[in-house]
């Protein structure tokens, strides 16, 4: 972990990106902001009332941290306008009414939801990335981004991946690092969404894990060996996802569908998919749904001794990352550096 994280931090330092942290009310976030600035990982913008932040964190040296108070900042009116325009015609699922009746309503909305405020700063280009979720749920952290930042060109699905880092030599993972997706956001992705997840994960492999991706679309079947999946149709789904991903990203080294052993063990890969460049050689793994992905990464973590860095959000038009509510100050700092790299 140390090496991958060190190189992420080193790369982040050379970029000098500006990352907004909307959760100025959380002491871990405030401390991480101060440390990230001290380490030179990024310029950090913290949202909240400056007096309150300083009063609640008397021992934290906030020199160099930019504190923006949405209540008094002169850009708030511009952001309210942007939100109103971006969400025009959208209906609130709970009330059945328009999300924002007018700009004034939009302004009230962003003053109640600083994650949305941060997302609008990102949309305006006033910052380069956003990190939140230390004291907000995944849904409340991602929704503003889904609503106003939207997806990267050519991608229609926001997803997540874990960068898995080996703690010892493993002949099936000579890189010592792998990418698993989607283990945290999309519950039951369809073939098109899986293709998006595969393409985004390859990007994460290059930018964050520092490896050249060889993507395996995983299944309980290898190249049609398990075509009896009458009930869930998951094998044809992975086959279709493989076809779409190859069409969308013809230069990407990607293949499937593979069982995990056919994807990583050269002897099995040669036997079951002799023509494939990926079989026996994969380092990016796309799971058919969140059950498989979430269980899979936890098995690698607990039984395999892998360290799991993530979830790292991918597919947004501009970088947004979700922290775990149990995060430590160090975790927040790592995610700031990852977000800075994604903004490259």
Ligand X SMILES: CC(C)(COP(=O)(O)OP(=O)(O)OC[C@H]1O[C@@H](n2cnc3c(N)ncnc32)[C@H](O)[C@@H]1OP(=O)(O)O)[C@@H](O)C(=O)NCCC(=O)NCCS
* Sites of contact with ligand X (CB under 6 A): 90, 138-139, 142-143, 146-147, 151, 157-158, 184-186
Q: DSSP 3-state assignment of 10?
A: helix
Q: Give the nearer residue to ligand X in terms of CB position, either 193 or 222.
A: 193
Least distance CB 138 / ligand X (angstroms) = 5
Q: DSSP 3-state assignment of 93?
A: coil
Q: Give the nearer residue to ligand X in terms of CB position, either 53 or 120.
A: 120
DSSP string, 160-184: EEEEEE-SS--TT-TTSEEEEE-SS
* Interatomic CA distance for residues 18 and 16, integer angstroms: 7
From the list 254, 256, 255, 263, the residue with the least C-alpha distance to 235 is: 256
Least distance CB 186 / ligand X (angstroms) = 5
* Residues 6 or more apart in contact with residue 65 via CB below 8 angstroms: 33, 34, 37, 44, 45, 46
- Tell me if 87 sits within 8 A of 81, measured CB to CB: no
Q: Give the nearer residue to ligand X in terms of CB position, either 21 or 142.
A: 142
| Cα 277 from chain centroid (whole Å) | 27
Q: Give the nearer residue to ligand X in terms of CB position, either 57 or 186.
A: 186
- Tell me if 313 sits within 8 A of 160, measured CB to CB: yes
Token pair listed for 227: 């075509």
Least distance CB 162 / ligand X (angstroms) = 10
Q: Give the nearer residue to ligand X in terms of CB position, either 136 or 223.
A: 136
Q: Give the nearer residue to ligand X in terms of CB position, either 268 or 300.
A: 300
Q: Give the nearer residue to ligand X in terms of CB position, either 190 or 261.
A: 190
Least distance CB 189 / ligand X (angstroms) = 8
* Interatomic CA distance for residues 42 and 20, integer angstroms: 10
- Tell me if 29 sits within 8 A of 20, measured CB to CB: no
Q: Give the nearer residue to ligand X in terms of CB position, either 147 or 192.
A: 147
Least distance CB 248 / ligand X (angstroms) = 16
Least distance CB 311 / ligand X (angstroms) = 7
* Interatomic CA distance for residues 281 and 262, integer angstroms: 9
Position closest to ligand X via CB = 146
Least distance CB 161 / ligand X (angstroms) = 12
- Tell me if 139 sits within 8 A of 281, measured CB to CB: no
For the beta carbon of residue 178, count every other beta carbon within 10 angstroms.
27
For residue 257, say if its preceding peptide bond is cis, omega within 30 degrees of 0: yes
Least distance CB 184 / ligand X (angstroms) = 4
């Amino acid at each position: 972990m140390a090496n991958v994280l060190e190189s992420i931090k080193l790369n982040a330092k050379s970029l000098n990106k500006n990352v907004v942290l909307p959760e100025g009310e959380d002491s871990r976030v405030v401390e991480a902001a101060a440390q990230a600035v001290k380490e030179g990982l990024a310029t950090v913008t913290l949202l909240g009332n400056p007096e309150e932040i300083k009063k609640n964190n008397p021992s934290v040296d906030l020199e160099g941290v930019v504190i923006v108070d949405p209540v008094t900042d002169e850009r708030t009116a511009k952001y309210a306008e942007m939100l109103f325009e971006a969400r025009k015609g959208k209906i609130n699922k709970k009330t059945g009414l328009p999300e924002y009746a007018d700009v004034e309503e939009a302004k009230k909305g962003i003053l109640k939801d600083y994650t949305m405020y941060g997302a609008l700063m990102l949309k305006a280009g006033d910052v380069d990335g956003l990190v939140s979720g230390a004291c907000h749920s995944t849904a409340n952290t991602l929704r503003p981004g889904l609503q106003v930042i939207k997806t990267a060109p050519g991608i229609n699905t926001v997803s997540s991946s874990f960068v898995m880092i080996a703690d010892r030599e493993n002949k099936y993972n000579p890189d010592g690092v792998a990418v698993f997706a989607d283990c945290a956001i999309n519950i039951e992705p369809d073939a098109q969404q899986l293709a998006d997840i595969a393409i985004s994960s390859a990007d994460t492999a290059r930018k964050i894990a520092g490896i050249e991706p060889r993507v395996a679309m995983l299944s309980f079947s290898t190249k049609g060996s398990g075509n009896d999946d009458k009930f869930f149709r998951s094998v044809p789904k992975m086959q279709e996802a493989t076809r779409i991903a190859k069409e969308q990203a013809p230069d990407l080294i990607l293949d499937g569908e593979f069982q995990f052993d056919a994807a990583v063990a050269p002897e099995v890969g040669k036997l079951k998919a002799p023509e494939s460049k990926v079989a026996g050689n994969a380092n990016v793994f796309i799971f058919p749904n969140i059950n498989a992905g979430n269980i899979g990464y936890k098995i690698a973590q607990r039984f395999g001794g892998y360290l799991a860095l993530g979830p790292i959000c991918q597919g947004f038009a501009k970088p947004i990352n979700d922290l775990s509510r149990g995060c430590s100050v160090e975790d927040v700092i790592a995610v700031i550096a990852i977000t800075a790299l994604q903004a490259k």
